[in-house]
Amino acid sequence: MADDDHSTRGSYVKGKGEFARDTRYIEDRILDDPQAEWPVEPGRYRLVAARACPWAHRSIIVRRLLGLEEVISLGLAGPTHDARSWTFDLDPGGVDPVLGIPRLQDAYFARFPGYERGITVPAIVDVPSGKVVTNDFPQITHDLSSEWRRYHRPGAPDLWPQDLREEMEDVMQRIYTEVNNGVYRCGFAGSQDAYEKAYHRLFTALDWLEERLADRRYLMGASITEADVRLFTTLARFDAVYYSHFKTNRQQLRDFPHLWAYARDLYQTPGFGDTTDFVQIKQHYYIVQTDINPTQVVPLGPDLSGWLSPHGRESLGGAPFGEGTPPGPVRPGEEVPAEHRIG
């Protein structure tokens, strides 16, 4: 069983050396229905995430883009964890100040004693009871857009435009299987054959994305959607980690002209770069995944300053937030540490 950044017990290598992800999540939903088991209620829930984790990073970005900071609090686990659970070692005394627990595992066990699947982030916790509600990461961000709509900030983007929904679902599915999960399929391959098949699948998908982004500013056209959020978190980690650590080394992200410019465009957009912590990202992968990096040495490179260079994507037209507006400053206390930022 291979540990990964999404789950402490959530993935494994199959008989032929192929990586497979355990996708059995807690599927409860928080609904905009007062009669629901978990109704939308400002201040009741806490999003527990980790800046290091690409799956959790999605939820941090979406919460910020939609302006939900005042209605759903954010608890941040540190970049490393042990075999038991993500821990709140960034907080004073190593205890989450709202939930009063040292380990995310405690919220899982409060609802499911002896919970045997992965203690994953992101997770939403019911603050009054201290019980985990859901860790179904794709549903979490979808519901932030749909079920919490009454509490979106003025000017919030429509991340799930109805007229693009069918095509967007297809695009996101390919991104998930071939790119988001594809890098893990390379990194955790248990045989040469499995690795080579995963490698070719990944770069076939990246070549497709490079072509798709040649004449459109964002994946679905003129403005940002959920599809862009889902791709960005993998691209942000590609050169910093995946290229070397996961052996996805046909070429770096910066060697794809359109993908690299697209990634920089997003990084320089409020909600994306200001939630990205490259130091924690590198610490997590190189320290936690000891089956791949047994020395736990974290590399000093690569040079990441290029993320702030001009991208030129404005020439393709469109606007990141469509007819809306960008989010305001990062909420006090939720900033990425200055020493972990670029520029």
User: What is the spatial distance between Cα 190 and Cα 53, in angstroms, rounded to a whole number?
Assistant: 22
Q: What is the CATH number of domain 166-268+308-340?
A: 1.20.1050.10
Q: Which residues are annotated as a binding site for glutathione?
A: 86
Instruction: Locate the domains of the chain by residue range.
Output: 166-268+308-340
User: What is the spatial distance between Cα 70 and Cα 156, in angstroms, rounded to a whole number?
Assistant: 14
Q: Which residues are annotated as a binding site?
A: 86
Whole-prediction pTM: 0.96
pLDDT tens track of the chain, all 343 residues? 234 554 444 455 665 788 888 888 999 999 999 999 999 999 999 999 999 999 999 999 999 999 999 999 999 999 999 888 999 999 999 999 999 999 999 999 999 999 999 999 999 999 999 999 999 999 999 999 999 999 999 999 999 999 999 999 999 999 999 999 999 999 999 999 999 999 999 999 999 999 999 999 999 999 999 999 999 999 999 999 999 999 999 999 999 999 999 999 999 999 999 999 999 999 999 999 999 999 999 999 999 989 999 999 999 999 999 999 999 999 999 999 988 888 6
CA nearest neighbour of 23 among 118, 111, 94: 118
User: What is the spatial distance between Cα 291 and Cα 197, in angstroms, rounded to a whole number?
Assistant: 21
Residue length of the chain: 343
Mind telling me the catalytic residues? Answer: 53, 184
